[in-house]
Amino acid sequence: MHLHRLLSLALLCICACVTTAFSADFVNVKSFTDRGIMMYGDTSQGGPPFAKDPSVVKFNGRYLMYYSVPTFGGMQGWRIGVAASKDLLIWEKLTTLEPAHPSEVNGFCAPGAIVLGGKVHLFYQTYGNREKDAICHAWSDDGVTFTREPTNPIFHPHGDWTCGRAIDAEVIPDGDRLLLYFASRDPGYKIQLVGVASAPMNSDWARDKWTQLADRTILKPELAWEQECLEAPTLVRRGRSLYMFYAGAYNNMPQQIGCAVSTDAVNWKRVSETPLLAVGQPDSWNSSESGHPGVFTDTDGQTYLFYQGNADKGKSWFLSKVKIGWKDGVPFVE
């Protein structure tokens, strides 16, 4: 590694120590937040800041962010962290969700949060089970303490296009149904793909309520920068169209963020052949990747795209965001 990159990483670590945080469990990097740039990390492991897979909602007058954090041995023992903010800039960690169902014993992560019926609902994945990883559901009256769905896991895909794994859940209402988007892998466990299922909107979204909508992947890696992976679908509705922001390529390959559009929830067309949000320039905080997006529309209509990044090939992970603008039905980074 070049000396200038080492110095840059050292500076980032130093800045992370000078924060507005009140706990050893998290950091807000002051050199970024002073410039109006969100830069959050979870330090509950005792090592470098490490937070992935952000998902944000507004609930009871504050913003809540759910994200993945490991608890031991690096990329193992995954849990879900919860942080709160008043301004989408400075975040305070509230808690880490611990296993509360047999399906979570090996780990659980990659939360997709949504407010429905006056509750925060989390759709998330099990971890550590390879082809048997699947989607789970939990809900909360306060956004912090969650009740698990007794039939967890509620969904995994089927068909000759998939190995049966489901991760990176995201749901969005669509008329009288709730759409569930997820990532899977091909039968050879090499190519990451996106699929979709649905359940009646007025149901309890238990295991027996979900129907896979296509016996195929609805979006797979095709562009050079997407390499062998499409994952982390996150969605927003604009008029009659659904827009899916997604991560292309595996972590640090580098992973970058693209976007596709659909009018029927199943058939998708990319809005561009280039990433919407690309990897950062050399020596930037996200020079290894800009990945795993989480889209959020605030009450004033402003769209934000939260995402993960790092500059050291995954030894640390920070969460940040950008504003998304819209022109002629196409999103752009403001």
Asked whether residue 4 carries a pLDDT value surpassing 50, the answer given is no
Phi, psi at 30, each rounded to 5°: -60, -35
Using a pLDDT cut of 90, give the percent of the chain over it.
90
pLDDT at residue 7 in the model: 33
Amino acid occupying residue 33: T
| Averaged pLDDT for residues 50-77 | 91
C-alpha span between 240 and 223 (Å, rounded) = 26
Phi, psi at 60, each rounded to 5°: 50, 45
| Averaged pLDDT for residues 317-323 | 98
Our count of domains for the chain comes to: 1
pTM for this predicted structure? 0.94
DSSP bridge partners of 321: 306
User: Which structure tokens are listed for 303?
Assistant: 């769209």
Q: What confidence tier does 75 reach under pLDDT thresholds 50, 70, 90?
A: low
User: Which structure tokens are listed for 75?
Assistant: 């990329």
Using a pLDDT cut of 70, give the percent of the chain over it.
92
Give the chain's count of helices (H) and strands (E).
2, 22
Counting Cβ atoms within 10 Å, is residue 14 exposed (0-12), middle (13-18) or buried (19+)?
exposed
Q: What count of Cα atoms within 13 Å lies in the side-chain half-sphere of residue 84?
A: 11
C-alpha span between 64 and 60 (Å, rounded) = 10
pLDDT (tens digit per residue) in 292-310: 999 999 999 999 999 999 9
Mean pLDDT taken over the chain: 93
pLDDT (tens digit per residue) in 205-221: 999 999 999 999 999 99
Cβ atoms 99, 82 nearer than 8 A: no
DSSP-derived pairing of the beta strands 119-126 and 256-262: unpaired
Which residues span the domain enclosing 192?
A: 3-333
pLDDT at residue 14 in the model: 36
CATH of the domain at 170: 2.115.10.20
